[in-house]
Amino acid sequence: MSTQKKTLRQSKDIINRFKWDNSFEKEKLRLGYMDRFVGIMECSLETYEIGDIPEHRIYYFKYDDVLIWDRNTKIDLVTSASSPDDFKSVA
């Protein structure tokens, strides 16, 4: 039995994927982050600027309200996706 940990791509890798892959509609992308005073917050990836939110505070990404990357549960549908259509099967 293997006790190997499941690795997860870093949030910066996910952001770069969406930044440079034009097959994803940027307005449908949202990221969830931990605000030190308020708790979990969401913002659009369109309005996100690198450095606005420290990467270690990013907890999840959603595409059209479908959870596609989650740090806590180690869900990563982004890395294997070739298009946004790949997310529709999990919605």
Per residue in 8-38, pLDDT tens?
899 989 988 888 888 888 889 999 999 999 9
68 within domain boundaries: yes
- Give the total number of structural domains in the chain: 1
Asked whether the beta carbons of 29 and 62 are under 8 A apart, the reply is yes
Model-wide pTM > 0.75: yes
Whether residue 85 is predicted with pLDDT greater than 60 in this model: the reply is yes
81 within domain boundaries: yes
21 within domain boundaries: yes
53 within domain boundaries: yes
Residue 9 sits at the vertex; the CA angle it makes with 71 and 25, to the nearest 5 degrees, is 85
Tell me the two tokens of residue 83. 């298009």
Going by the DSSP 8-state scheme, the letter that residue 57 receives in this structure is: G
pLDDT > 90 in the chain, percent: 38
6 within domain boundaries: no
* Top-confidence residue, 53 or 1: 53
pLDDT band at 90 (very low <50, low <70, confident <90, very high): low
**Exposure string over 15-30, b if 16+ CB within 10 A, otherwise e:** bebbeeeeebeeebbb
Q: Which domain covers residue 31, as residue numbers? A: 11-88
Per DSSP, the three-state class of 5 is coil
